[in-house]
Structures are given as C-alpha cells and as structure tokens.
Chains A and B, each alone.
Chain A
Amino acid sequence: MTVISNPDVEFDSGAAAEVDSDLVARQSLAARLARARTSEQVAAIAVEHGLNTFGASLARVAILDDRGVFTFVGDALHEEYGSFSLHGGDPAVEAFQSQRPRFWTQFDDFALAHPRAARALRPLAVRSIALLPMFADGDPAGVWFLGFPTTQRFSATERVALAHAALEVAIALERSRLYEFERSVATELQRSLLPPPVLIEGAGHCSRYIAAVSSLTIGGDWYDTMRLANGRIGLAVGDAVGRGLRAATVMGQLRSALGACALRAADAADTIDCLDEFASNIADATSSSVAYAIVDPVGGSVEYCCAGHPPPLCAAPDGRTWFLDQAQMRPLGFRSGDHRRLARSDFPAGSVILLYSDGLVERRGRSLDDGLEALASAVAQRVTLPIDHLADAVLDELLATSDRTDDVTLLVLRSPVSTPNMLLRKTHATPEALAPLRCDVRAWMRAAEIPEPAATSLLVAVGEACMNAVQHAYTSEMHPMLRVEASRVGDEVVVNVTDTGTWKAQSPRSRGGRGIDIMRKLATDVTVQRRVSGTTVTFREHIGAAP
C-alpha cells in the first residue's frame, strides 16, 4: 500500500507487490515495537515508520497520559513543524472524539474544515493528511498524525493498513504505560527502602546507587548502615536475586531482617547466620548475597562476613589496599548445619572501607579478579580524597567503558582522622558545633602547613558552608550531621563540607545567598553539588609549596 519509495510513483500499482511489502512493513513495525519500553520509544518508532515506510514528510505522535495530557514526539522534514499543535478544537481532537481515523486527499479540503491547523501546515507543502486516533482496549492512547508530500488517494486497502499500524502502536503504548507504572512503583519502593545516609556519628560515610543502563527495571541492590553498641558501625551491601518489584520486596525484607539481627547478634558471622535462617523461609530470597562488616573506629579494627558476595575493600591512608576476603561463603538461604565464618582485620584511623555490589567489578569478557584489581588500583590512587569524591571518581573510572547491564551500589566509610594530609570530622549540625569544628580545621591547616592569608580565607569560606548546612539542617526532622573533610596532596588542598539536609532554594538577597557570595569570593574554586541525600560543597585551592 502506502510504501512510497519514490514519491513520483502512484501507489495503487501492482496489487501483489503491495501485499508483500505491506506484510513486511507490518512485521517490521511489530518487531520493533516489541522492543520498545517507554511510550516515548514507541512513539519514536511510529514516527520513523511513518516517515520511512509510509513515505510521509511529516509524522507526529501525541501520547495521551493518564492525566489527559498530551506529550508530543515527532520528527519531520521541516523545522517549522514545531508550530503545529494538536490542541483545542483542532482536527486531531475531533478524530479522537469520533474515534475514527480521518483522511484528506486534498489539502484544500482539510484547510476548509480546519483553517487554523491548515495555516500552520501550509508552509510545509503537505498534500494529503491522515489522522489516526489510537485506542487500546477502548482506552485512548494517543494520536498519530501523518502528512504526505504527494497526493494520496487513501484506498480502502491503504486505510485498513494504516488503521492496523495505528492499532499496533496503540497496543505498544498501552504496554509501555503498564511497564512504566511498574517501574515507577519499583523505583519508589527501592528509594523508600534505601536509608538516608550520614546519620552515624564517629565516621564519615557516603553511598551511591546507579541503576543499570540497558534495562529499565530496577535491580535488587540494597545497602544499610547501623549504629551498634560501643561506637561500632555495621555496614551492609546486598543483592537480592531477580529484578523489578519482586526483587525490591525481597530486598526490603532482607534489609529489615539484617537490621534486627545486627542488634542482637554477637558478631558479624552470627548476624549473617541469623539472616540466613530468615532468608531460608522466604522462597524468593534464596541465593541473595550480602557483605557485612562491623567497623570499630576506636579500636581500629573491622570484622566481617560475606555470603556469596564480592569482598569489601580496605585502603589505608598510605595507599595500601587489601580485600576482606577471609570469610567468603555460600549465598543466603541454603539450609546448612555449618556456621558462617568470621574474619577480622586492622582498620587504622583514616582508612576507608568500600562495600559494593557485583555490578561494580563484574564485566562481560573480564575475570572477576581483574575487576577486583581495577577497583583496588582506582581506590589506591585516590585514598586521601574526601569520600564523596573518592566514590564518584571510582565509579567514573570503573564504569566508564562498560555496557552496564546490572545496577551498581557503592558504600564508602572512613574513620575519623587528623593527619597533615587528611582530616575527617563529623558532628551534629548545630550552631554550637561550629566553633569546635573551626578549631579542628585550624589545627589541621597548621599541621598541613597551609600559609596565610590562604588559610584564613579558606577557613572563612569553609565556615560559611558549615553555617549554611546548620541553618538549613533545621528543616529536617532527623538529627542532621555535618561532615568536614580536608586533604592536601602536594600543592592542592581540597576541603569538602557535606550535610544531610537539602539546601532550600535561596534568593540572592537572603542571608544564605550572601554567605554563598562571600564563600565564592574568598575561595578560588567552589562547587556545590546537591544530591538526594544532601549537599556537598567542595573548595579547591592551589597553594604555594610548603615552606
């Protein structure tokens, strides 16, 4: 039918050839639509099909969402096409209401019936027009608009073919809508299940969760941080089997169970034994994995236990790295008499520990050992960086050249430290905490031999960032924390201020706006990064070599 490879050829020539090409066209449309996930992808395929297969010079799909709002997806051979609208009282709406496709062989007929729409279309030199309202199971899904550069007669066969194509697109739109709904529920569930970070005193930690690139469903990655007795901190990263809503549900159950087990258990292995028992009673939880570590910042040690999960990585301030791989055992949920193994390691002040999901180190065509080695080397090079920067840099390096099919979770913790190269202080975000914090930063600046007047300017700028964090922390219901990290590598000084609350939008004249202004004038390089978990302000200064 309307396969116009050459615009000069009228299309009712050669009935047999038409049938074949029609069949091919429909099959290719169906095949392509089957791979589309989002409604935008469906619409883009329809638009492309309209242009390339039906020979339209103007193709556009208006997707109707649940709220009755149109989203336009389209492409055309003309830039002016953007001015064409499907809104209010126009032919598309009419076609929608009548629930029947409309065809105009002559543009003049169209112009007579719809002068406004015709005005917008006239410069595009469209000869014939087809408007295809799309319904899936009787529910409106969208409108498909096609404008042709040559006169089309729209024979009965052609009309049926266009209507068939429209039905295929409508069904695909409906499918994508269900899919998007499930994804939004799953994403929402996962977000609600993952904890807000930075609520632990005595150490600085940050987390990253990155969804898979090639898939829209969420994975089963989860993480948690727990305050335990005697200032110890429990850290967990786990991976529930499967994807989507089921994985999200299992992940939530495992995380809650681990939290409960951790409070009662004697040690890390005991905790995982307890979680094992829980998991063996949930069918979908079998084969899920978890790495669990308990950090003791005061004693400078860490104990851990891994169930089918890649080993956590530690790095000392001097760049030495080691994997916590002496307690690797089976995944969760397999009933077995033997208890989990427990292992311990040193964790000197200022060390970092990284827990992660396999998505970070596993890559098609590369061994796991190579992946672990790449991780260790990426961390070793950046061990003195503030942890947010460490996390981002490691993710950047490891995920740069990958066809990521899995989601990735990374949890980083550093114990408090103050050495000439590195400072980490964490405190409650209250006005009274500001002066003691400044005292620590000053002492560090002296130890790091940062000369005046750079030191004072940096101190005031950092102080402003801390003050901002405190002022805006009051809006949060939790007990917000404030983390200051500083490092000096050669002539480079990096100071990072992180808070757990999100900064409110500020007008430039407000007090907060003034503070930011001062901050920017005093420091050479200031970046503000807002995340769901809070705000990070980073100062970078290049100072003269130490005297």
Chain B
Amino acid sequence: MTADLCAIEEQRRDEIVVLWLRGEIDLSNAGAIETQVLARVEGEPRPRAVVLDLNEVEYLDSAALAAIERLTRRTRLHLVLAPTAVMHRTIMIAGLPHLTPVHDTVPEAVAAAADVD
C-alpha cells in the first residue's frame, strides 16, 4: 500500500541527504513514511541535514503533517515546496514554515543546509 501511494528516492550530497517524495501521504502510510525517513536521518554516516522535497506530493493530511513535524525535532530539516506545488496552501496553512525552513527548489535548500555550521 505504502509503495503504491508514496515513493521515496534518495540522493546524498556530501553530508546532506535529499529525499524526493512522490505521491500521497495519509493516515494509512504516514507512519511508514516517517519510519523510512528516520532510517536515513539516523543511519550512518549521520547526515548534517535532511532536505525533504515535497513538490511532487499530491496529498497530505494532518497525520502526514504531524509526522513531518516530529521529523523537525529529530534532524535539521529543510523542506522544498514551490508556490506552484499542489500542497503549498495546505502546508502554509498548517504552519510548517514556522517550524522549519521552506525553499522553492532543491539547490536552494541544499545551499542553505550546507551554509549552516
């Protein structure tokens, strides 16, 4: 079910992990997605920061938002979400930008993540 609904692809750029999420995250798979992201966040070598690309996420519910919120407490999380992204309004309304930086593109997010000491 998780595989059907949402795919995760990973790229490492130096000490930064970029995770590209595609699909839908809801009550049925939010827990599993969270676990998969955490495995990368806490795996060795431990990344300095994690960039979560949400531009191609087509659906998020409050279970998914709560999972992202929990991730912000476990690692330095940077979100990628262009104003044109489908879930842009939902994520803004949920107030995630107050918790963690949000960028328009992956290169911007990676640059910002690398800048931090």
Contact = CB atoms under 8 A, between A and B. Distances in A.
Interface of A: 431-432, 434-435, 438, 453, 456-457, 459-460, 463-464, 467, 470-471, 511, 514-515, 518, 521-522
**Would you list the 6 A-B pairs with minimal beta carbon distance, nearest first?**
A431-B28, A515-B62, A431-B27, A521-B93, A467-B27, A467-B61
Given A438-B59, A463-B61, A467-B63, A456 B86 contact: yes
A466 B67 CA distance: 18
Nearest to A431: B28
Contacts of A464: 61-62
A200 to B, nearest CB: 24
Contacts of A470: 27
A522 B93 contact: yes
B1 interface: yes
Nearest to B94: A518
A493 B58 CA distance: 22
Interface string B37-49: 0000000000000
Contact of B62 (A432, A438, A467): A467
Nearest to B62: A515
Contact of B89 (A431, A457, A515): A457
B90 A515 contact: no
**Which of A435, A467, A518 counts the most chain B CB atoms within 10 A?**
A435
Nearest to A438: B59
17 contacts: A434-B26, A434-B27, A434-B61, A435-B5, A453-B89, A459-B59, A460-B87, A460-B90, A463-B59, A467-B26, A467-B27, A511-B62, A514-B62, A514-B66, A514-B94, A518-B65, A518-B94
Interface in B50-70: 59-63, 65-66
Given A435-B5, A518-B90, A522-B90, A460 B61 contact: yes
B8 to A, nearest CB: 17
Contacts, number: 61
Contacts of A434: 26-28, 61
A543 to B, nearest CB: 16
A456 B1 contact: no
Given A456-B90, A518-B90, 14 more contacts: A431-B26, A431-B28, A434-B26, A434-B28, A434-B61, A456-B87, A460-B59, A460-B61, A463-B26, A463-B59, A467-B61, A470-B27, A514-B66, A522-B93
Nearest to A519: B62
B24 interface: yes
Contacts of B90: 456-457, 460, 518, 522
B28 A432 contact: yes
Contacts of A522: 89-90, 93
A424 B11 CA distance: 43
Nearest to A514: B62
Given A460-B61, A464-B61, A435 B89 contact: no
A427 to B, nearest CB: 13
A518 B90 CA distance: 8
Nearest to A453: B89
Interface of B: 1, 4-5, 24, 26-28, 59-63, 65-66, 86-87, 89-90, 93-94
B49 to A, nearest CB: 26
A528 to B, nearest CB: 15
A435 B28 contact: yes
Contacts of B24: 435, 438
B93 A518 contact: yes
A460 B62 CA distance: 9
Contacts of A471: 27
A432 B65 CA distance: 18
Nearest to A432: B28
A464 B1 CA distance: 19
Contacts of B94: 514, 518
A213 to B, nearest CB: 42
A475 to B, nearest CB: 15
A456 B90 CA distance: 9
B47 to A, nearest CB: 28
A432 B28 CA distance: 6
Contacts of B5: 435
Contacts of A457: 89-90
Contacts of A467: 26-27, 61-63
A435 B26 contact: yes
Nearest to A520: B93
A434 B93 CA distance: 22
Contacts of B62: 464, 467, 511, 514-515, 518
A460 B93 CA distance: 12
Contacts of B26: 431, 434-435, 438, 463, 467
B32 to A, nearest CB: 11
A525 to B, nearest CB: 16
B61 A511 contact: no
Contacts of A456: 86-87, 89-90
Contacts of A435: 1, 4-5, 24, 26, 28
Contacts of B60: 460
A80 to B, nearest CB: 50
Given A467-B26, A471-B27, A511-B66, A432 B1 contact: yes
**Which of B59, B60, B66 counts the most chain A CB atoms within 10 A?**
B59
B89 to A, nearest CB: 6
A299 to B, nearest CB: 33
Nearest to A439: B24
A453 B83 CA distance: 12
B85 to A, nearest CB: 10
A511 B65 CA distance: 10
**Which of B1, B27, B90, B94 counts the most chain A CB atoms within 10 A?**
B27
A522 B92 CA distance: 11
Nearest to A511: B66
A431 B25 CA distance: 11
A467 B65 CA distance: 13
B89 A511 contact: no
A59 to B, nearest CB: 56
Nearest to A452: B86
